[in-house]
């Protein structure tokens, strides 16, 4: 009888060990939860932003950065907002806002960059 209990105990210990190893493979911790990255808005590349200059046309800005997330209808389409947000599943959120202002001749008059925060 003792032999049978000892054998069952070894089997149970082995099963627990195998289960814990399998669960460990599912994440960084024993019972960790996968959190996907959340990305929203325009990806703002530093190299492309560095190419922006006052005097550029809307077409040139669109070529460099793509379509803006928001065009301000109250300023006659003369204010474009590019917004980027990234929340890595296991890290700190990053935000960036780039505002392009156009003058009366629809040329870039001002560039406001919040930088990566």
pLDDT of 25: 57
Q: What is the mean pLDDT of residues 90-108?
A: 91
Residue with tokens 């959340």: 38
3-state secondary structure of 96: strand
Pick the CATH number of 35-117 from 3.30.1450, 3.10.50, 3.10.450, 1.25.40: 3.30.1450
3-state secondary structure of 71: strand
Q: Is the per-residue pLDDT at 117 higher than 90?
A: no
Q: Which of 22-36, 57-71, 99-113 has the lowest mean pLDDT?
A: 22-36
Q: What pTM does this model have?
A: 0.65
* More confident of the two residues 47 and 115: 47
Q: Where are the domains of the chain?
A: 1-34, 35-117
pLDDT of 108: 96
Q: Is the per-residue pLDDT at 31 higher than 90?
A: no
Residue with tokens 């990566």: 116
**CB contact at 8 A, 68 and 80:** yes
Residue with tokens 């922006």: 52
36-94 per-position pLDDT tens digit:
888 888 888 899 999 999 999 999 999 999 999 888 778 778 899 999 998 988 888 98
Which ranges of 25-57 would DSSP assign to H, the alpha helix? Answer: 46-50
């Amino acid at each position: 009888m003792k032999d049978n209990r000892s054998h069952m105990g070894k089997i149970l210990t082995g099963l627990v060990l195998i289960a814990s190893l399998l669960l460990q493979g599912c994440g960084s911790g024993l019972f960790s939860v996968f959190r996907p990255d959340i990305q929203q808005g325009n990806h703002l590349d530093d190299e492309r932003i560095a190419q922006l200059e006052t005097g550029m046309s809307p077409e040139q800005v669109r070529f460099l950065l793509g379509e803006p997330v928001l065009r301000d209808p109250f300023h006659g389409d003369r204010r474009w907002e590019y917004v980027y947000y990234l929340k890595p599943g296991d890290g700190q959120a990053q935000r960036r806002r780039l505002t392009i202002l156009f003058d009366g001749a629809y040329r870039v008059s001002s560039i406001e960059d919040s930088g990566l925060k």
